[in-house]
Structure 1
Amino acid sequence: MPARPAASSIGGVTSIDHRRSGWWGFVFTAAFVASLVAGGALAVGKTLYLPGASAAQLRHFYSTNGLAVAVQSGLQMVAALALLLFGRRLRASGRAVYGGAVAASGFLGLSVLLSVLLTVVAASATDAVLSGLGRAALICGGALHLLGTAVLIRSASTGVLRSGTPTRWVFRYGLVAGPLIALACVSVLWSPLIKLEPLFRLLAIVWIVGVAVAVLRGRIGGTPEPAS
């Protein structure tokens, strides 16, 4: 009598796993938003505005806010991992999808590490080093992270729409939101644009939550894992 195929190789368990992967979109959103709230609530003194912060302000903030930075960094590292796993399940939508997810999560993670490093060296580093680390953390967690997110959003939306999947508003929305979010890169050359980063992040979160709902409902799937 022929061996019966494993459920994961015929779509049973695999389909359920793909749907569960949608939860990573909610984990990313919750962890990232919580990081901003917790960081602001735990911060001692004035909130640091990185684009215009002097070396003295950086030194004071990171010397006195180790707990706030640690909590915020931990939550953002969770968010980075969740975004990577979320994008991994969408990689069948196009070649650039997973690359965008890797870039977005990688630069967010790098920004976290730089922030933690700032708390370690704040008391002893030179002004030039502090300014350089602060600038690098800002660019990695802002412009570069958002650029990777824009690639993920645009590529996944384009791929899903071309695949014949029943059209959903979130994918058409992604075709427009992706390029808009990519404009965040201009802030590297023109710092006033950083003020629009909350808007760019909101545009991204709307797409991530919308796609997460679609995945949980079985409207789109990821790349099946190899059958054991």
Structure 2
Amino acid sequence: MTFYAIFPLMIMATVKPRVFLSVLAFSFLIYCYFAFFVLSNEFTLAEQWNIYINPLNQSFLFASGIAIGWFRDNSRNPSQVGVWVIGAVSLLFMMFYPASGNQINIVAGINRILFTVFCIGLCYSAINCNIEKDLVLTKILKFFGDISYSLYLLHSVVGVYFLQLVLPKIGQFSPMAKLYILFLVVLPSIIFISFLIYRFIEIPFMKMGKRLAVVRGDKTAGVYNLGKLRDGY
């Protein structure tokens, strides 16, 4: 929730590239601090979970996502060959890099930095590759991209509420049965609710924001361009 509270401030920072890049650099320093000095390979990720989920520890990833969208809208169209090469190399690295043991080994130390670099590369490739818009897969991915904001906010809350409050009143279920219920009943419900929120809440507010951006002119161009990305343009 912390990131969604500061999201408008991050968007406004993109209006001034130096400010935004300074924020990005500072968040990376914090990211490295957690990777090398706070999280330790001597303990499992579960034992350090409260540290790992600290918003400061995740802020660079959030800022990087915004940076990818900002860079796309404020630079020339990249070579498609380069885009696909970056995506392929990033994917191969994440698949075959020899990291083993507890999950802490990929979120601490130099491994964390490497995985982060190639994760950003994969996201950059995905957002910049030109895929035929009429493909069924493209439409499916666009749909989930549109509702992703609400889907992310709702999935854990609804899932926990259903498992802890609703399901016990229905009966006793095995762990596997609970998993099937989550995927076959709860997940489709969350997707549908997320779509309604996107359609009747998010879209009207995005249109309102774009009208305000047009009225204010070039000073909000960075905000407006990033808004296009959120709206699927």
Q: After TM superposition, is the score higher than 0.5? A: no
Query: What is the TM-score with the length of structure 1 in the denominator?
Result: 0.30
TM-score normalised to the size of structure 2? 0.30
